Structure 1
């Protein structure tokens, strides 16, 4: 996700905006969209996802269809990953890069059929991704179509997610069965007679599903999931909980850890480019001395926030990109871009409004679910 707003002066709203208002949500402008930041409390919603389940509206995300006989070869050229190697029924995390290797966006690509792919882009980056794909498709027998206005996207996340889906009325014709959909796999179904795609993906570090449904069915599916999940502890959850959940899971956020000024290896994501892959847009030389992403853990209750400096002694060696007091772990955590020679330093500190808070580099993710 990112903070690049569309040209409109007024923020956009999702098809579920009235549902959020009815639930008493507080809203914030995010990536040019008016999105629910919380319904009750950030902590309650965060803990619900870790212990039971939370339901998120992520309809601000973009859905871009790529289809055609040469779609696999085109996406291998246009994106960083080995897209043609994705089996039908599976998905892959990848990136679309600028010519110099900077990150235009991080994406999830689903292979729907031999020559048909669904690209999920981050909110304010959808136009940039569509434009880049459209520019790069020249010479390939493939089409690029932004279908974002046709779909709503919901995320059901937490250990009870599969139970809740199995008990949700209106969902039928599921193939394969829910237990057979593995992580980064997807299945097809119908909801009240309309097509429904269920993907075992998410942005919280928990088990869960993301559900793609036609706009006209979004409100009915939202209500059906909340009703089915009430007995399991399901709550609607907003962006505040989503942010602390993804931070605990060590997942990068566009506009914070990822940007046009960062190449994948700096963010610890060099793996998105397969070993030996050449000839793709954004192929680049290493950047010696460029800042690298690390996880930082500290004691106490005061957390470093985005933009706060990271120091080794009196030398500023980096900057926090995301930080919070971890609701699950009970101590401050942060992601930071730091000088490479400070990435293993044992004696770093975060400057919090003039006070230096000792911090140690720690392996990511900060939190990992048991199963």
Structure 2
């Protein structure tokens, strides 16, 4: 157990005042739930919820060579971004393993806004700095300690948006970013989320966070929603099959094995990890990240539970939970490629007993029910 004190977001006192249950997460003391994981999950699916995402990291990368630098540092093709657009991308090591997954936005001709995972802020910053050449015109700023972030997610997020920003304000389209500045500082308003629902995220100066949070919580409650913790955020993202870095993504697995090849621009001339990915594609993938659903009555699957195929243990659960929307256990696991096909029968070992499961197509949850 680490002796390092847990970090707190600028909204810590707000969470405590609302009766949140606080837990350690990625070095931070964060709310895992307020009213309960299931009601918070259902609120986001049916109405709206607000999450504190202030623990996540934000970098600014700018300069004449910023595009070329980011294009060789990340997997996706940064040159495809128009000003105001964002994209999902990955940061790899030389062996092609995933250091982190992130969202990259182009905020102007020569500037980019990068949002990284909370536990990886220092690692990502050091990695990017290590790739930077002194001859390049690239400037980097780490804003993580100075900013706070909120995510408003759910079918009624647009109604909340209008209450907060006015009916004339433009709701950010999917994978977009608007940047504004006033006497209180900059705001980055993003059309992204981690739940599969309509919604937006925004980052602003930490000094303004408490007031923003209180205002948004009030608007969310008016629309039948609630403040939400990390527990619901995890069940929501897993129902969509979205990976969690540290569970479903790791330096030991490539994005090709993780099923994220769509976000890897192999046609680019060069990027960190490309040679390893090229070799892996030629040799064939040793494993694939597969989605599974429990097929009978069983306890919820949890990370690290052993997974059996044809009677033999072949891996362990990467992410697993009880799906509130499906009333069934779901999860993801790296399996040998022959075992990762849709319809394959596997078993999850839970407290010494094996329970049946089946490989299914992602996402687990679909709004149309199909």
TM-score where L is the length of structure 2: 0.93
Bigger mean CA deviation after superposition, 317-326 or 185-194: 185-194
Residue 348 (str. 1) matches residue 346 (str. 2): yes
Secondary structure of the 1:262 match is coil
Specify the alignment match of 1:50 in structure 2: 45
2:187 maps to 196
1:368 corresponds to: 366
CA distance in 1, matches of 2:224, 2:179: 26
Residue of structure 2 in register with 1:359 after alignment: 357
Q: Which residue of 2 aligns with 1:85?
A: 80
Conserved 8 A contact 1:75-1:84: no
Map of 1:106 onto structure 2:
101
C-alpha distance after superposition, 1:323-350 (max 9, x if no partner) = 1111001111111111111112622111
| Equivalent in the alignment of 1:322 | 319
Tell me how far apart the structure 1 counterparts of residues 210 and 116 of structure 2 sit (CA, whole Å).
22
Matches within 5 A, 1:7-46: 9-46=4-41
Task: Find the aligned partners of 1:368 and 1:314 in 2 and give their Cα distance.
Answer: 31
Secondary structure in structure 2 of the residue aligned to 1:167: helix
Q: Would the aligned equivalents of 1:301 and 1:325 in 2 still touch at CA under 8 Å?
A: no
Tell which deviates more after alignment, 302-311 or 252-261.
302-311
1:338 matched to 2:335? The reply is yes
1:69 is matched with which residue? Answer: 64
The answer (yes or no) to whether the contact 2:60–2:114 under 8 Å persists in 1 is yes
Q: Is residue 174–residue 188 contact of structure 1 (8 Å, CA) maintained in 2?
A: no
Which residue matches 1:266? 257
Q: Pick from 257, 260, 263 the counterpart of residue 248 of structure 2.
A: 257
Distance 1:228 1:77, change over 3 A: same
- CA–CA separation in structure 2 for the residues paired with 1:330 and 1:173: 37
Spell out, residue by residue over 1:59-79, the C-alpha distance to the aligned partner (whole angstroms, 9 max, x if none).
Answer: 000001101011011101111
What secondary structure sits across from 1:246 in the alignment?
Answer: helix
Compute the displacement of 1:173 (Å). Answer: 11
Separation in 1 of the partners of 2:191 and 2:368?
Answer: 17
1:232-272: CA deviation from partner (whole Å, max 9, x where unpaired): 11211001111111110100001100011010001000111
Alignment of 1:229-244 (within 5 A): 229-244=220-235
Structure 1 residues 312 and 140, CA, compared in 2 at 3 Å: closer, same or farther? same
SS in 2 for 1:111: strand
Q: Distance in 1 between matches of 2:61 and 2:352?
A: 50
Equivalent residue for 1:282?
273
Contact 1:297–1:334 under 8 Å retained in 2 = yes
Mapped contact 2:85–2:105 kept (Cα < 8 A): yes
Q: CA RMSD in A?
A: 2.0
Work out the CA distance in 2 between the residues paired with 1:229 and 1:346. Answer: 42
Given that 2:248 and 2:318 are in contact with CA atoms closer than 8 Å, whether structure 1 keeps it comes out as yes
| Aligned pairs, number | 361
Per mean C-alpha deviation after superposition, the further-off stretch among 13-22 and 354-363 is 354-363
| Partner SS state of residue 256, structure 2 | helix
Q: Is the 8 A contact 2:107 2:179 kept in 1?
A: no
Equivalent residue of 1:225, what SS? helix
- Counterpart contact for 2:196–2:240, Cα < 8 Å: yes
Residue 189 to residue 160, structure 1, CA distance change in 2 (3 Å): farther
Name the counterpart of 1:60: 55
Aligned to 2:153: 157
Match of 1:207 among 192, 198, 202: 198
Alignment of 1:295-314 (within 5 A): 295-298=291-294, 299-314=296-311
CA distance in 2, matches of 1:338, 1:161: 37
Q: 1:301 to 1:190 in 2, by over 3 A?
A: farther
Pairwise CA distance, 1:314: 1.8
- Structure 2 unaligned runs (5+)? none
Q: CA deviation at 1:189?
A: 4.4
1:146 partnered with 2:122: no
Aligned with residue 134 of structure 1, among 117, 129, 132 = 129
8 A Cα contact 1:79 1:94, kept in partner:
yes
